[in-house]
Chains A and B, each alone.
Chain A
Amino acid sequence: MDEISVLQEKFGAEQDARAVDKCVIIAAEKLTDAVKFLKEEASFDVLIDIVGVDYLGMENHNAPRFAVIYCLKNTKNMVRLRLKVQVDEGKKIPTISKIYPIADWQEREVWDQYGISFEGHHNLKRLLNHVDFEGHPLRKDYPAKKRQWLSENDKMLDQLEERLETLGYKVVEA
């Protein structure tokens, strides 16, 4: 059975009218189950990317302001599928980092650039921008040339140190 029809029947997904490839719109609360189904039963084994979209100022757009798109790939028959979750400002999307571990950093990037937060994420902090950065630069209402200085060095090794400590090493303060 085609995975899109399963998604439509089981998870209430609907096909995206604007897309030319396989793309379905799905509700945020059904996302975790749908992704679990796609990974375990439909063998979509690779999560290629998580993309944020800001639709502010787009003509004829009646849906919520933001969307998060999950690009999945089945490496057995080389089929690609996109899951689209529409979300408004201040609403949360469940994390899928427990299903695909790579989603950990991808969700952090989406949060960093768009300010879309993910519920249940264990370490939701900025990935690309520095710690003193205010606002989310890829939002349409962020002034494109607004620059923000960083004066103190960013501590980037916290996750590495955590991992070293679980492996039995002791991290000494420099």
Chain B
Amino acid sequence: MRNGNPGFFAGKLDELVSWGRLHSLWPFPYGTACCAIEFMSTESARYDLSRLGSEFVRFTPRQADVLAVSGTITFKQAPILKRIYEQMMEPKWVISMGACACSGGFYNCYCTVPGIDRIIPVDVYIGGCPSRPEAFFDAMLDLQEKVKNQSYMQERKKKLIEQWATILERIEKKVGDEA
């Protein structure tokens, strides 16, 4: 109660959660080609992605929020990418960086996946071959905008309704069996 301040502040939980989320989007670098080099320079001192709160590049999908796919994905790699996406915790987002990840690029051939959106859902696409660090920043800002508009409480409500529906179903079934 110093200076007469109450020592707490009031706000919506929703806004607090999305504020926390959008300023700590930790990327997982899935780099397979030259786009990954651009991603490295995005991360390093000259451009410095940590200005947006993407401080740490996490090399384990368990601790990452954003999957940054930068580079060509071949069919041999597709199951690996899918598994890494599935290992990530909710909430998770995907950035598809560069022409190869978005559409296969100029590899219109037998071995390249024509766009990673055939395997996993993508939130933000970045063009370019390879994309510049500024483009990656633009994508991160777009992603932050998207995260800001996502409502934690709405998702929670939806999940609770689903849970209650299944519980009610089970209770009704049990009552019906007993009667």
Residues of A at the B interface (CB closer than 8 Å) are 128-130, 137, 142, 144-154
Contact = CB atoms under 8 A, between A and B. Distances in A.
Closest 5 pairs (CB-CB, A-B): A130-B76, A153-B79, A137-B110, A150-B75, A154-B76
Interface residue tally on B, bucketed by range: 10 to 19
B75 A147 contact: yes
B111 A149 contact: no
Chain A interface SS verdict (over half): loop
Given A153-B80, A153-B83, A130 B110 contact: no
Contacts of A129: 76, 111
A147 B74 CA distance: 10
Interface string B43-84: 000000000000000000000000000000001101110010
B83 A147 contact: no
Contact of B110 (A146, A150, A151, A153): A146
B110 A145 contact: yes
A149 B109 contact: no
Contact of B114 (A137, A147, A153): A147
Interface in B82-128: 83, 108-111, 114
- Chain A CB within 10 A, most for which of B75, B78, B79, B108: B75
A142 B79 contact: no
A83 to B, nearest CB: 29
